[in-house]
């Protein structure tokens, strides 16, 4: 039984003994004592005043005295207004450190064979352009969430849905066919996804010129957009694709293969992966089949023009188009088809979609439709909705070629990490291979931490220069602290045995605070899983790192003359490093052993 549960049980006993009252666990609030007050844990007294019929101070004093008498771990207490602050004995925290010391995967639950199966979808790129900064936030959130859910004892399947069909794909294909002169990734020296993205921008440039020319001849803007030769040709190409035209399909396969090779390289660089990839070109027909099935069951209805709709007015929403009059599918149909294939492949208990907040309504509708179609997890699907990410210069636009693509950003981060590290002398004595490896880890650590420390629901501005700083709330600061601890441990080798460390020693408040922070880690992992928020982990590991650096500054470790105290501080440092490493693992960040 952990200390919070033990206190809860004894508070219930106190209320029964003192006031002859029974109370449930939910009415007992226990929280960490606010800084500036003596104590470790605080019991909120206000809910008990109706029972005690006394003022907050008297009630707190009576319950506090009872707890100090019955709970060995409570060494003292004080009451501030309606808050009962409990001081936990140092011996309890020392025992906790010894327990933590024995568990290498401290904070992580091991999933049992019958654990819930959670599927997480993230990335969802289009095959007409390379991954950009927005995709980076999506990928990092999804991958981190997959590790957090696994650490909470779930079985996890990571999936991706690739948007590989539609008019936007045909735009890149048509532009390459008209203006590409047979250019390939090999002849151009460009990554395949960059090459295809180049022609998406090229299409938009020529399309806009055609619109302007038609408007000069007297057409309205709407008419010009529909009549421009390029868009007409792109629509014809899409129709040919849907009719399995051999030439168009071969062109589509070739250009998609270029893009997939480019994506694979970027994913590897970012350190993210997937257990299963689905493709819209394979799911949209499945979706049409499920809609037809829903039509037969009376879940959906057909209008006079032949289009198929879902009437969701009884659910407080509106009517939703599922198949156009010409029989072509919409995004919702494709998502239904993808869900069908996934449910065929895996016995999913929970489905989490990592998609931007502009799609909130879409997933509200999808949840209802999947439930109506009989998917067990439909009603409880989770839309992990996140905000936009921008640069200090503002928003990005793919069609105009003003996005910051992922590869360029990572390359810039690595160069900045190299320059900053050299300037601070952190790479002295390194070989070229070590420099490349270390600066890559620092760069990606900076990028991932800067993005993941922000509440995912909020919009954010990513500043590359701010993210690579060896001081402050940054990835490199945390990586540097880990490396510093490893340096201390190497100098102390061999390390003392961990059994019974710290027993009987007069430990400082700073040392006890560090143990308490370490002890919080499993609860933090649980909270991050319940809230679907990697930022909970990021902010925790920063607090732990900051606290350790203050301890390192104020107390001697290697030069401590008391051997028992030296051994304790080494063990404390080793376990701080372990939890830092475990926390960074959940964020998808690698540690650096020396820096």
Residue 457's CATH number: 1.10.730.10
Q: How far apart are CA 139 and CA 134, in angstroms?
A: 9
| Residue 107 included in any domain | no
- Considering the domain architecture, whether residues 377 and 464 belong to the same structural domain is answered as no
- Considering the domain architecture, whether residues 72 and 198 belong to the same structural domain is answered as no
Q: What per-residue confidence (pLDDT) applies to 465? A: 81
Q: Give burial (CB, 10 Å; 0-12/13-18/19+) of 210.
A: middle
Q: What per-residue confidence (pLDDT) applies to 401? A: 47
Residue 592 and residue 441 in contact, taking contact as beta carbons nearer than 8 Å: yes
- Considering the domain architecture, whether residues 375 and 290 belong to the same structural domain is answered as yes
Q: How far apart are CA 477 and CA 544, in angstroms?
A: 12
DSSP letters of 405-471?
Answer: BHHHHHHHHHHHHHHHHHHTTTTTT--HHHHHHHHHHHHHHHHHHHHHTS-TTS-EE--HHHHS-SS
Q: What are phi and psi of 28, to 5 degrees?
A: -105, 115
Q: How far apart are CA 415 and CA 421, in angstroms?
A: 10
- Considering the domain architecture, whether residues 373 and 264 belong to the same structural domain is answered as no
Token couple for 498? 């961990």
Number of separate helices (H) and strands (E) present in the chain: 21, 14
The β-bridge relationship of strands 30-32 and 41-44 is antiparallel
| Residue 470 included in any domain | yes
Q: Give burial (CB, 10 Å; 0-12/13-18/19+) of 376.
A: middle
- The b-or-e profile of 445-454 (16+ CB within 10 A means b, else e) is bbbbbbbbbb
| Residue 137 included in any domain | no
| Residue 52 included in any domain | yes
Q: How far apart are CA 124 and CA 161, in angstroms?
A: 5
Q: How far apart are CA 248 and CA 501, in angstroms?
A: 71
| Residue 261 included in any domain | yes
- Considering the domain architecture, whether residues 357 and 388 belong to the same structural domain is answered as yes
Residue 303's CATH number: 3.40.50.620
What letter would DSSP give residue 243?
Answer: T
Strand partners, 42: 31, 85
Nearest one of 467, 412, 459, 465 to 440, comparing CA atoms: 412
Nearest one of 37, 32, 83, 36 to 57, comparing CA atoms: 83
Last residue of some domain: 254, 274, 294? 274
- Considering the domain architecture, whether residues 378 and 495 belong to the same structural domain is answered as no
| Residue 362 included in any domain | yes
Last residue of some domain: 37, 61, 88? 88
Q: What per-residue confidence (pLDDT) applies to 497? A: 60
Q: What per-residue confidence (pLDDT) applies to 496? A: 67
Number of domains in the chain: 4
| Residue 300 included in any domain | yes
DSSP letters of 351-416?
Answer: EEEEEEGGGHHHHHHHHHHHHHTT-TTSTT-EEEEE--EEBTTB---TTTT---BHHHHHHHHHHH
| Residue 223 included in any domain | yes
- Considering the domain architecture, whether residues 512 and 434 belong to the same structural domain is answered as yes
Residue 48's CATH number: 3.30.1360.70
- Considering the domain architecture, whether residues 520 and 541 belong to the same structural domain is answered as yes
- The b-or-e profile of 529-540 (16+ CB within 10 A means b, else e) is beebbbbbbbbb
Q: Give burial (CB, 10 Å; 0-12/13-18/19+) of 324.
A: middle
Token couple for 376? 């067990």
Nearest one of 331, 428, 350 to 145, comparing CA atoms: 350
Last residue of some domain: 252, 274, 296? 274
588: left (phi over 0), alpha (psi -120 to 50) or beta: left
From the first residue on, what is the mean pLDDT of each consecutive set of 10 residues in the chain (595 residues)? 89 94 91 90 95 94 95 94 94 92 92 90 95 93 98 97 94 97 96 96 96 94 95 94 95 98 96 96 91 93 95 94 87 93 95 95 96 92 92 54 78 89 86 92 96 94 85 94 96 73 84 95 97 98 98 95 92 97 98 91
Q: What per-residue confidence (pLDDT) applies to 103? A: 92
What is the domain extent for residue 355?
278-404
- Considering the domain architecture, whether residues 230 and 282 belong to the same structural domain is answered as no
What letter would DSSP give residue 163?
Answer: B
- Considering the domain architecture, whether residues 397 and 465 belong to the same structural domain is answered as no
- Considering the domain architecture, whether residues 389 and 429 belong to the same structural domain is answered as no
């Amino acid at each position: 039984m952990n200390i919070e549960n033990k206190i809860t049980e004894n508070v219930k006993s106190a209320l029964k003994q003192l006031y002859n009252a029974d109370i449930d666990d939910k009415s007992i609030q226990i929280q960490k004592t606010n800084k500036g007050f003596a104590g470790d844990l605080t019991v909120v007294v206000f809910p008990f005043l109706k029972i005690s019929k006394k003022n907050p101070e008297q009630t707190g004093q009576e319950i506090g005295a009872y707890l100090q008498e019955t709970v060995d771990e409570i060494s003292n207490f004080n009451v501030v207004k309606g808050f009962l602050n409990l001081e936990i004995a140092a011996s309890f925290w020392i025992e906790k450190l010894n327990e933590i010391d024995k568990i290498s995967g401290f904070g992580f639950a091991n999933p049992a064979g019958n654990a819930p199966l959670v599927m997480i979808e993230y990335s969802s790129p289009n095959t007409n352009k390379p991954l950009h900064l927005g995709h980076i936030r999506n990928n990092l959130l999804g991958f981190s969430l997959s590790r957090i859910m696994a650490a909470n004892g779930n079985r996890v399947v990571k999936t991706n849905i690739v948007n590989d069909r539609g008019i936007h794909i045909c735009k890149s294909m048509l532009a390459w066919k008209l203006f590409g002169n047979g250019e390939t990734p090999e002849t151009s020296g460009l990554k395949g996804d960059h090459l295809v993205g180049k022609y998406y921008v090229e299409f938009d440039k020529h399309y806009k010129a055609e619109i302007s020319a038609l408007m000069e001849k007297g057409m309205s803007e709407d008419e010009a957009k529909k009549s421009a030769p390029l868009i007409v040709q792109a629509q014809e190409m899409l129709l040919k694709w849907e009719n399995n035209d051999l030439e168009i399909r071969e062109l589509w396969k070739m250009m998609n293969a270029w893009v997939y090779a480019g994506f694979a390289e970027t994913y590897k660089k970012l350190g993210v992966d997937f257990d299963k990839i689905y493709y819209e070109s394979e799911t949209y027909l499945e979706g049409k089949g499920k809609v037809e099935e829903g039509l037969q069951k009376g879940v959906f209805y057909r209008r006079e023009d032949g289009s198929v709709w879902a009437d969701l007015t009884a659910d407080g929403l509106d009517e939703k188009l599922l198949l156009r009059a010409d029989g072509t599918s919409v995004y919702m149909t494709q998502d239904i088809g993808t869900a069908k294939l996934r449910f065929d492949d895996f016995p999913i208990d929970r489905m989490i979609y990592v998609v931007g907040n502009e799609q909130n309504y879409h997933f509200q509708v999808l949840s209802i439709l999947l439930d109506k179609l009989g998917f067990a997890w439909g009603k409880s699907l989770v839309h992990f909705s996140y905000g936009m990410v921008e640069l200090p210069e503002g928003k990005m636009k793919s069609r105009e070629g003003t996005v910051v693509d992922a590869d360029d950003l990572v390359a810039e981060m690595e160069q900045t990490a190299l320059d900053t590290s050299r300037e601070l002398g952190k790479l002295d004595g390194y070989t070229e291979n070590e420099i490349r490896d270390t600066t890559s880890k620092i760069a990606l650590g900076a990028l991932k931490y800067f993005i993941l420390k922000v509440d995912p629901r909020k919009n954010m501005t990513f500043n590359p220069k701010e993210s690579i700083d060896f001081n402050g709330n940054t990835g490199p600061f945390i990586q540097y602290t880990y490396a510093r601890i490893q340096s201390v441990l190497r100098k102390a080798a061999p390390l003392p045995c961990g059994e019974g460390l710290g027993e009987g020693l007069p430990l400082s408040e700073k040392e006890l605070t560090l143990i308490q922070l370490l002890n919080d880690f499993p609860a933090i992992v649980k909270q991050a899983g319940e809230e679907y928020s990697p930022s909970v982990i990021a902010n925790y590991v920063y607090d732990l790192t900051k606290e350790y650096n203050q301890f390192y500054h104020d107390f001697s470790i290697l030069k401590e003359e008391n051997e028992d105290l030296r051994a304790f501080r080494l063990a404390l440092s080793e376990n701080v490093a372990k939890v830092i490493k475990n926390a960074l693992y959940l964020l998808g960040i690698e540690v650096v052993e020396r820096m």
